Every structure is written in C-alpha cells, then in structure tokens.
Amino acid sequence: MINLISDTVTKPTPEMLSVMMAAEVGDDVFGEDPSVNVLESKAAKMFGKEAAMFCPSGTMTNQIAIKMHTQPLDEVICDHYSHVYQYEVGGYANNSGVSMNIVPGKYGKITADQIAQAIRPDYDWLPISRLVVLENSCNKGGGSYYTCDEIIPISGLCQQRGLSLHLDGARLFNVLVETGESTHQVGALFDSISICISKGLGAPVGSVLIGSKEKIRKARRIRKAIGGGMRQAGYLAAACTYALDHHVEDLKIDNARAKKIGELLNRQAYVESVRPVKTNIVVFSLADKEDPKSFLDKLKQHEIGAVQFGPHEIRFVFHRDLHENDISKVEQIISTIK
Ligand SMILES: *Cc1c(COP(=O)(O)O)cnc(C)c1O
C-alpha cells in the first residue's frame, strides 16, 4: 500500500537500526543513559537552550509543557485547530486542570492582536491567562507555517504580559527547510519547544522537550509522575540523534512532493479546494459534498491509504518512506479516479 495516512508510519532505515543496536545505554531515570544524554544536549544546543528531555511522544512533551507553565484554573490561549486542543484527548483539563481559550486563526495561525484580545482581565471570576501555544507547522491548518518574523510580535507580547510561550514543533523541521531559518532563531522566541522525531524524520519513537534548566527539572518530575520515565531509552534516543544528523534535509523532498500533488488535485473536477500547500501535508475538500469515506474506499482499491480530515476533507501526508514510483502512481490515480 502507498501510505499517505501520516508521516508517523516511517520506519527506521537499516543504517538507523545498526546505530540503535550499537547504542550505549544506561538507566535514564537516574540520568545515566549516555545516548539519551547525547540527544538531550544536542537538542538543547540546537535551539540555544539550557536543557532538554526525551519523551516517548509529542503528546507527552506538550502535556508536560502545559503543566510546567501553569497552575490549575489557569488558561491556555491557542488556535482552534491546535493539536493540544483537538487531538490530545482534552488532556490539558485532566493533567493540568486548565481551560483553553480558543482563538479562530487562519489555517491554524493566530496573530499577536488576536492573542492580546484573548488575554483575560484580572477579575476574581476569570481564569488567569498564563500560556500561549503555537503550532508550527500546523497539522489541521494543512501544514501551514509561521515565519520567525510572524512570531516575533507574539513573543514580544507574551514577554510584556508575563505569559509563557510554548511551541508545538512536531513538524518544525519541515518548516525550517522551507524558510531557511535556524533553530537558534526559533529557540530565542519561545520558553519551551517540543519536537517530534518519529514523524517525517523517521525515528521509530521519540519527542524532545526543550527549555531552561529550571523548567526541564520540573518537567522531569512531571514526566515521572505520569509514568513517562524510561530506563534504557538510549536505543530510541540513538535513533533520534541519527535522524537529526541525517534526515532533516530530506524533508525538502517531502514538501516538494506535497506541492506537486496539491497542484494536481487543484485541477481535478472532484476537488472543491486545496488548502495552500506549504510543507508536507495536503488537505483538500471534495466537491458536491461527496462523502470522504467513499472517496477513501476508491483510493484504497488502488492501494492508496489516506484519512478523512473533516466533514468533506481528506488529508495526504508525504514522507521519506515513499518512493518516486509511488508518487507517479499517486499522480496517475488522482488524475483518473472518478
Ligand atoms: C503528531 C503531533 C503531535 C504529537 O503526537 P504523538 O503521536 O503523541 O507523538 C503533537 N503535535 C502535532 C501538531 C502533531 O502533529
């Protein structure tokens, strides 16, 4: 099957597997796994931050970030499409006892003005606005992204108003290969950053939360409390370090393929519209209120897997486990499917 369901389906390469097999490991709960320590210091340094912490998932890094920046009854401001709001089971309420102040952005992006308006005045009966979460790239926004220039006013506002700013950077590297901006530039704008290495970068498991020494110390306690302390996690961390060293540039190929397929979809009569394709995600809606399920069935008959992404929307995600002939086949099928 040609799997366009997600970039999480990517599997380790033989080279990555051999690096994993050879990894030096220890007990990371005691801070004694050398391969985890290598990954954590590499990630912290990349973003110009003091510390980092390895976790099994991006949901965990985001949930820990929310908890480390807030107190119960505080409020988090984010776009209505945000992963932390949409796809983390409402964990913010359960894990942190906070509420969400949802801002309707454009393709998942919100502005400093919108945030300024959302910040609560200081009354006994209102939650305290404490944290802003941005997502870059934005999954539900169709892979849209913020440039650093767009984030600077948001970062400035948060500083001025005493709010923390967290980045859900699950697919941040898909953005940076497009904009040419550096991880240091991004790091300077946020209090904490979460990156996923198990998506387009191709590691089997792993996300990293990056921030100040003090915040990451707190984060380690929260991780342990929710059962995320891992022991010989170095086998996984070694895969993540390998991915950061060898797979980042390849994301350009995924982005370019998504653009090509997005343009082709735009020319098909059965497609109503395609969200602007900016990175490796293509989200499109079907014309004539066609049921996405029947369209997905047709794709499946041609051995193409994808997911429904809204009442009339379909999502395709491009990733490193697709070959050039898979892309040709997708082009051929979407041009002829009825
Ligand atoms: C995938 C993803 C995450 C984390 O997902 P996990 O499956 O928990 O690793 C977080 N944010 C965004 C935007 C994502 O796409």
Pair (149, 255) in one structural domain:
no
pLDDT at residue 289 above 90? no
- Let me know if residue 79 belongs to a domain: yes
Q: What residues make up the domain containing 254?
A: 250-336
The reply to whether 211 and 268 lie within a common domain is: no
- Taking the centre of ligand 1 as the mean of its atom positions, its distance from the CA of residue 45, in whole angstroms, is 22
Contact predicate 39/31, CB 8 Å: no
Are 306 and 176 within one domain? Answer: no
Tens of pLDDT along 322-331? 999 999 999 9
What is the token pair recorded at 131?
A: 């944290």
**Is residue 105 in some structural domain?**
yes
226, 246, 266 - which closes a domain = 246
Number of domains making up the chain = 2
Closest-CA residue, ligand 1 atom 10, reads: 58
Q: How far is the CA of 207 from the centre of ligand 1 (A)?
A: 9
Determine, yes or no, domain membership for 26. Answer: yes
Final residue before a domain boundary, out of 223, 246, 269? 246
In this structure, the answer to whether residues 257 and 146 fall within a common structural domain is: no
Phi, psi of 189 (to 5 degrees): -95, -10
Instruction: Say if ligand 1 is within 6 A of residue 57 CB.
Output: yes
Q: Are residues 189 and 277 in the same domain?
A: no
pLDDT confidence of residue 57: 98
Whether 174 and 264 share a structural domain: no
Same domain, 202 and 87: yes
Question: Residue 137 CA: which ligand 1 atom is closest?
Answer: 13
Residue 136 structure tokens? 């870059």
In the chain, beta strands by DSSP E: 2-3, 51-55, 74-79, 99-103, 128-135, 164-169, 192-196, 207-211, 271-274, 281-286, 304-305, 307-308, 313-317
Shared-domain flag, residues 303 and 191 = no
Q: Is residue 172 part of a domain?
A: yes
pLDDT for position 290: 87
Instruction: Answer with the one of 231, 246, 261 that is the final residue of a domain.
Output: 246
169 belongs to a structural domain = yes
Read off the pLDDT of each residue in 283-302 and give the average, rounded to a whole number. 94
| 169: CATH | 3.40.640.10
pLDDT band of residue 288 (cuts 50, 70, 90) is: confident
Residues 265 and 228 in one domain: no
Distance from Cα 270 to the centre of ligand 1, integer Å: 30
Distance CA 282, CA 173 (A): 17
Task: Give the pLDDT confidence of 232-242 residue by residue, as tens digits.
Answer: 999 999 999 99
Cβ of 83 closer than 6 Å to ligand 1, yes or no, is yes
Tell the residue nearest (CA) to atom 5 of ligand 1: 58
For the CA of 88, the closest atom of ligand 1 is 8
State how far the Cα of 51 lies from the Cα of 37, in Å rounded to an integer: 10
Q: What are the pLDDT digits (tens) for 134-164?
A: 999 999 999 999 999 999 999 999 999 999 9
Report whether residue 196 contacts ligand 1, using a CB cutoff of 6 Å.
Answer: yes
pLDDT of residue 338: 73
Residue ID of nearest Cα to ligand 1 atom 6: 58
Q: Are 61 and 200 members of one domain? A: yes
Output the domain CATH number for residue 267: 3.90.1150.10
Residue type, 310: G
168 Cβ inside 6 Å of ligand 1 = yes
In a domain, 49, yes or no: yes
> What mean pLDDT is predicted for residues 267-293?
95
Residue located nearest, by CA, to atom 8 of ligand 1: 59
Nearest CA to ligand 1 atom 2: 170
Q: What is the CA radius of gyration of the chain?
A: 20
| 3 within a domain of the structure (yes/no) | no
Distance CA 40, CA 36 (A): 6
- Among 218, 258, 248, 240, which residue's Cα sits nearest to residue 58? 240
Nearest residue to 321 (alpha-carbon basis) of 1, 22, 57, 20 = 1
- Asked whether residue 5 is assigned to any structural domain, the reply reads no
Ligand 1 pocket member 86 (CB < 6 A): no
Task: Determine whether the shortest distance from the Cβ of 7 to ligand 1 is under 6 A.
Answer: no
Same domain, 168 and 260: no
Q: Are residues 195 and 311 in the same domain?
A: no
- What is the CA(58)–ligand 1 centre distance, in A? 5
Is the CB of 143 within 6 Å of ligand 1? no
